Structure 1
Amino acid sequence: MTVTDDPDAATTRDGGELVAACEAVLHHVVDVHCHPTDSPATLSPDSMHRLPITICPMASRKSDQPRIRALAQAHPDKVIPGFGYHPWFSHQIATETVISKQDHYRSILLKTPINPDHESIFAELLESLPEPILLSDVLTELKQNLADFPNAMLGEVGIDRSFRIPVDFDASPRKLTPFTVPLEHQLSIVEAQLQVAVDLGRNVSFHSVKAQKATLDLMDRMVDKHGDRWYRISADMHSCGFSPQTWTDVQRKHCNIFLSLSTTINEKSPNHRELIAVCSPNRLLVESDFNDIGGCAERTWEMVKIVADVKGWAIEDEWVQGVIPEESWGVVRRLERSFQLFRQGQHTPPAKKRSAATSGEIS
């Protein structure tokens, strides 16, 4: 990165030193997954005015949906919204009419045979849990939000097999309970939301933690269930934790699945650089996965620099307008092209194998 004296340059941190990044270059950077509405105190008109990049803020629970709406309405030039319900909050959604709050949560969280030690913990947790909402109401709200924002995607949704429900999610530190949301319930919630995405032709930001096989099985079911309609949309495995070999298999088998990485999550993994190395340039995205709007650009730029280093791509210190040869592209232009492919969808389905009967062959 070349230091510039441009007074309009934005600043990011690199090893504790301030390095100037050209504002025109940052204008083409997209943080494909972040959570600024989780820190509303830092989210202000001034902080959004200073934001030099485009962000894709994700909703995760009931309170998030209107916050994301308001942010997208106020800053349509910088915000591509995501609406949906995260697996961490899927237990708050009822697939059938609820008899009582206690019966709903008991049926999901207390497994048979019931551990006697869990009853008192469940009673404490129950007090802090909201009244469950019907899946049908969730889907009605989701459809309306996606209809109101033609550029919106479904997110954040997914599967998580390691998350333990806290007594109070917003407390710091959180007091964790032994309860997890059964995979079957998570799948019922995420598959219903994916159906909406397919019906409306909307892309997806997908969360997968300790659920590699379940996620890949789900993607296979989407192909079997929706066929070519599934390939109209793109799915991004956000802060992807797959092994490099698994990702190589995924991108070969699923032409509509993309990969995005964040320093917030992936820098903790020793294989994240190898994951970047094996990922197709046309499937690679960057994100912050951060909940403070003041840090979204900085953390996204950190990942841009890691991608550039691993791929051997130059980092632009100015933005050249017009058509330039692809071999001269820098990292930001390449990531921008990848995001454009993600947004446009309409992927070519893999060629179907012709059977002997359909091809007229006689054995």
Structure 2
Amino acid sequence: MSIAQDLSQNVDAFPWDLGVYDAHCHPTDTMASIANIPAMKATALTIMATRGEDQELVQQTTESLNGDKEVIREDRIVPAFGWHPWFSHQILDDTQSDTPQQRDAHYTAVLTPSPSEDSEFIKRLPQPKLLSTLIAETRDRLQQFPNALVGEVGLDKSFRLPGAWTQADLDNRDEEITPGSREGRRLSPYKVKIDHQRLVLKAQLQLAGEMQRAVSVHSVQSHGAVFEVLKELWKGHERVVLSRREREKLQDAEGALSDDEDEDEDAQENHQTTNNKSKLLNTQPPLPFPPRICMHSYSGPIEPIRQFLHKSNPSDVYFSFSAIINFSGLSARKVSDVIKALPAERILIESDLHTAGPQMDQLLEDAARQISEVRGWALREGVQQLAENWRRFVFG
């Protein structure tokens, strides 16, 4: 028997039977790989849209693989529709009168350093999409798919736009890759101003609040900035957090009022009936923030986690981890400390991969094994916990 065979026999068989869920992936970036999904071991994939070229592809993939099943929780695909910060310069804000409405003036205003309006770089950029159009189209897609997420959205302070296509780039382009991404091009000096990224992110988060959908958030060197946007949306809706002394006083007061319960029973029943009618009639005002948020492939330190998980926050915040980004190189040790500090019920796994198939399955297995080891979970216990977390994140 070889050493490799001997080692493989000592590794616990992976419990795919418990359900394994990818919280964030991009297989529509390589459409040829979509045919591999039915044979995958993973139970369900949460597929992200990022830009103009893939919104429709995510929708088509969901429709083709899910069919018309009535039981939505058995769906193979959970779609997510949204506009990534890397492409946020392509969105023109038409909600404010002082925003530049002309194409070239728009790009000059939202990019830094500011290119001249007649620069070759600007001439090669696409016609921007109106923010109102983006929100309307995304709302329509969310209405078509009751469990769809908003994503991938977020902020990124480090990303630089790719340079213009050269003839060599075009000659060597892989036709199987969905257009719109970097595809190996050299990076330009231009970034999208963070204020513009915030504007696009905030509009999409408000839509997620209106539709009460979960959100998958991209954040690179921007955890504080993302939190500030959320804080703006949470303002006035914070959960009440009582101190121990306040909780004890409340319990004493409830005990003192218990003798009056019979007298108040009819009033409480009438109040509950009114609340139920409001819910059925959907007369509750929409909230301006999403109910659940996933910080995808979280690579930040422990400190911001305490802010995101504060008991007063009205959104439940999850953190997902991928083998490619989080468990390689120098980041592996930092992420172990983060995973240990998180509540067990707020951890998710993802592949963040652009190709569906066996590699995606393997990355999910690797992430689940790594997290289970860090947390000290037996493998079946860990996979079960991660499955329950994903269901709660997506379905509430």
Pairwise TM-score range, normalised by the shorter structure: 0.7 to 0.9
Query: Structure 1 residue 301: deviation in Å?
Result: 1.2
1:48 match: 37
1:342 match: 393
For residues 172 and 215 of structure 1, what CA distance do their matches in structure 2 show?
A: 27
2:223 match: 212
Are the structure 2 counterparts of residues 251 and 165 from structure 1 closer, same or farther at C-alpha, using a change threshold of 3 Å? same
For residues 137 and 382 of structure 2, what CA distance do their matches in structure 1 show?
A: 38
Equivalent residue pairs, number: 308
2:302 match: 244
For residues 150 and 388 of structure 2, what CA distance do their matches in structure 1 show?
A: 21
CA contact (8 A) 1:231 1:256 kept: no
Q: 2:394 is paired with a residue of what secondary structure?
A: helix
CA contact (8 A) 2:351 2:360 kept: yes
Give % identity: 31
Query: Structure 1 residue 246: deviation in Å?
Result: 2.4
2:147 counterpart of 1:136? no
2:84 counterpart of 1:95? no
For residues 280 and 92 of structure 1, what CA distance do their matches in structure 2 show?
A: 37
2:21 counterpart of 1:30? yes
2:141 counterpart of 1:145? yes
Query: Structure 1 residue 63: deviation in Å?
Result: 1.1
Q: Give, as a single letter, the amino acid of the residue that structure 2 aligns with 1:202.
A: R
CA contact (8 A) 2:15 2:383 kept: no
2:178 counterpart of 1:178? no
Are the structure 2 counterparts of residues 278 and 110 from structure 1 closer, same or farther at C-alpha, using a change threshold of 3 Å? closer
CA contact (8 A) 1:288 1:299 kept: yes
Are the structure 2 counterparts of residues 302 and 230 from structure 1 closer, same or farther at C-alpha, using a change threshold of 3 Å? farther
Give the number of the structure with larger relative contact order, counting CA–CA contacts within 8 Å between residues 6 or more apart.
2
Query: Structure 1 residue 160: deviation in Å?
Result: 0.6
Q: Give, as a single letter, the amino acid of the residue that structure 1 aligns with 2:365.
A: W
Are the structure 2 counterparts of residues 226 and 199 from structure 1 closer, same or farther at C-alpha, using a change threshold of 3 Å? farther
Query: Structure 1 residue 140: deviation in Å?
Result: 0.6
Give CA deviations for 1:136-168 in whole Å, capped at 9, x if unaligned: 100110000000000100000011110001125
2:371 counterpart of 1:307? yes
Query: Structure 1 residue 236: deviation in Å?
Result: 0.5
Q: Quick check: 129-138 or 212-221, which moved more?
A: 212-221
Are the structure 2 counterparts of residues 292 and 200 from structure 1 closer, same or farther at C-alpha, using a change threshold of 3 Å? same
Map 1:213-292 → 2, pairs under 5 A: 213-224=224-235, 229=287, 233-253=291-311, 254=313, 256-268=316-328, 269=331, 270-292=333-355
For residues 342 and 112 of structure 2, what CA distance do their matches in structure 1 show?
A: 41
Q: Give, as a single letter, the amino acid of the residue that structure 2 aligns with 1:63.
A: E
Query: Structure 1 residue 226: deviation in Å?
Result: 5.4
1:104 match: 106
Q: 1:138 is paired with a residue of what secondary structure?
A: helix
Q: Give, as a single letter, the amino acid of the residue that structure 1 aligns with 2:229.
A: L
2:76 counterpart of 1:78? yes
For residues 79 and 180 of structure 1, what CA distance do their matches in structure 2 show?
A: 33
Query: Structure 1 residue 124: deviation in Å?
Result: 3.3
For residues 18 and 281 of structure 1, what CA distance do their matches in structure 2 show?
A: 24
Give CA deviations for 1:42-94 in whole Å, capped at 9, x if unaligned: 222xx011112110010000111100001111122210000000000000000
Are the structure 2 counterparts of residues 58 and 224 from structure 1 closer, same or farther at C-alpha, using a change threshold of 3 Å? same
Query: Structure 1 residue 170: deviation in Å?
Result: 3.7
CA contact (8 A) 2:149 2:394 kept: no
CA contact (8 A) 1:248 1:278 kept: no
Q: 1:130 is paired with a residue of what secondary structure?
A: coil
CA RMSD, aligned part only?
2.5
Q: 2:200 is paired with a residue of what secondary structure?
A: helix
CA contact (8 A) 2:208 2:289 kept: no
For residues 132 and 337 of structure 1, what CA distance do their matches in structure 2 show?
A: 40
Query: Structure 1 residue 222: deviation in Å?
Result: 1.8
CA contact (8 A) 2:215 2:294 kept: yes
TM-score by length of 1: 0.79
CA contact (8 A) 1:124 1:167 kept: no
Q: Give, as a single letter, the amino acid of the residue that structure 2 aligns with 1:342.
A: F
Are the structure 2 counterparts of residues 18 and 63 from structure 1 closer, same or farther at C-alpha, using a change threshold of 3 Å? farther
For residues 164 and 231 of structure 1, what CA distance do their matches in structure 2 show?
A: 29
Are the structure 2 counterparts of residues 167 and 310 from structure 1 closer, same or farther at C-alpha, using a change threshold of 3 Å? same
For residues 103 and 139 of structure 2, what CA distance do their matches in structure 1 show?
A: 26
Q: 1:155 is paired with a residue of what secondary structure?
A: strand
1:293 match: 356
Q: Give, as a single letter, the amino acid of the residue that structure 1 aligns with 2:88.
A: S
Larger-gyration structure (1/2): 2
Query: Structure 1 residue 119: deviation in Å?
Result: 4.9
Runs of at least 5 residues in structure 2 that lack an aligned partner in the other structure: 1-6, 67-74, 165-179, 240-286
CA contact (8 A) 2:147 2:395 kept: no
2:257 match: none
Give CA deviations for 1:266-299 in whole Å, capped at 9, x if unaligned: 1241301111111101111110111111222211
Q: Quick check: 164-173 or 306-315, which moved more?
A: 164-173
For residues 227 and 249 of structure 1, what CA distance do their matches in structure 2 show?
A: 13
2:51 counterpart of 1:61? yes
Are the structure 2 counterparts of residues 139 and 211 from structure 1 closer, same or farther at C-alpha, using a change threshold of 3 Å? same
2:281 match: none
Runs of at least 5 residues in structure 1 that lack an aligned partner in the other structure: 1-13, 317-329, 346-363
Give CA deviations for 1:221-278 in whole Å, capped at 9, x if unaligned: 1211655736771000001122123213422343611111111211241301111111
TM-score by length of 2: 0.72
